[in-house]
Amino acid sequence: MSNKKHRKNSEYQKGPHLVFIGFMGSGKTSMGRSLSYKLKRAFYDTDKMIEEREGVTISDIFAAKGEKYFRELETQVLREIRDDKIARIYSLGGGTPVSLQNQPLIKTIGTVVYLRLKPEEVYERLKGDTTRPLLQCDDPLAKIKSLMQLRSPAYERCADIIIDTGSKEREEVIGEILTELEKRGWEIPPESYLASKGENTEDSE
């Protein structure tokens, strides 16, 4: 195996972005929005970018063109993010870090925060959700468990920062992320640590 495959995250020349990864329902979009407000950076959710381009929902893409096609779109979007030099915040789809060709791209685009939680917590958050095609099955909890087991090593490989989110309050998670960023030399406006006002705190993802 080549050395390149084993490069540590710290050896990657990191782009300017803040990037959220993690399983479906881990709060990537919600955290991305909050930090966008606090760090005054634009926020983009790559699923939404893909939906806007294709003009249909992710579920429709999976149904009409299949998962493989969707995964190709994800890689295309990552390449565009890599070439985007203005510092932004991105939330990636839960499956994006799985592909071996996506992993070096993810590590290159910026500082990567992995929001980690347990399968049971995902299940509780996403019970009744109809927008995730991979979980429309007879036993979503079993599916979550097996996908998470497969994916966890990929999330960990890509991550610069890992935050366990499960039982924590939203503001606590935000505080931990800001502290970790500050340790890595990010300039964090002091008021960012204060509890958010006027934000949409409804959505779990």
- Residue ranges in contact with ligand S3P by CB under 6 A: 24, 28, 47, 58, 93-95, 132-134, 205
In 3D space, the residue among 110, 88, 115 whose CA is nearest the CA of residue 204 turns out to be 115
Shorter beta-carbon distance to ligand S3P: residue 24 or 178: 24
Shorter beta-carbon distance to ligand S3P: residue 47 or 192: 47
The Cα 140–Cα 136 span in angstroms is 7
Shortest spacing between CB 40 and ligand S3P, in angstroms: 23
**Long-range contact list for 140-144, CB < 8 A, 24+ apart?**
144/23, 144/119
The maximal CA–CA distance of the chain, rounded, in angstroms, is 51
Shortest spacing between CB 131 and ligand S3P, in angstroms: 7
**Mapping DSSP to helix (H, G, I), strand (E, B) and coil, where does residue 88 land?**
coil
Shortest spacing between CB 205 and ligand S3P, in angstroms: 6
Q: Write out the two tokens for 99.
A: 């592909």
Shortest spacing between CB 14 and ligand S3P, in angstroms: 22
Shorter beta-carbon distance to ligand S3P: residue 93 or 119: 93
Shortest spacing between CB 183 and ligand S3P, in angstroms: 26
The Cα 170–Cα 159 span in angstroms is 20
Specify burial of residue 200 (Cβ count, 10 A radius: 0-12, 13-18, 19+). Answer: exposed
Shorter beta-carbon distance to ligand S3P: residue 56 or 188: 56
Shorter beta-carbon distance to ligand S3P: residue 47 or 121: 47
* Torsional class of 66: left (φ above 0), alpha (ψ -120 to 50), beta (otherwise): left
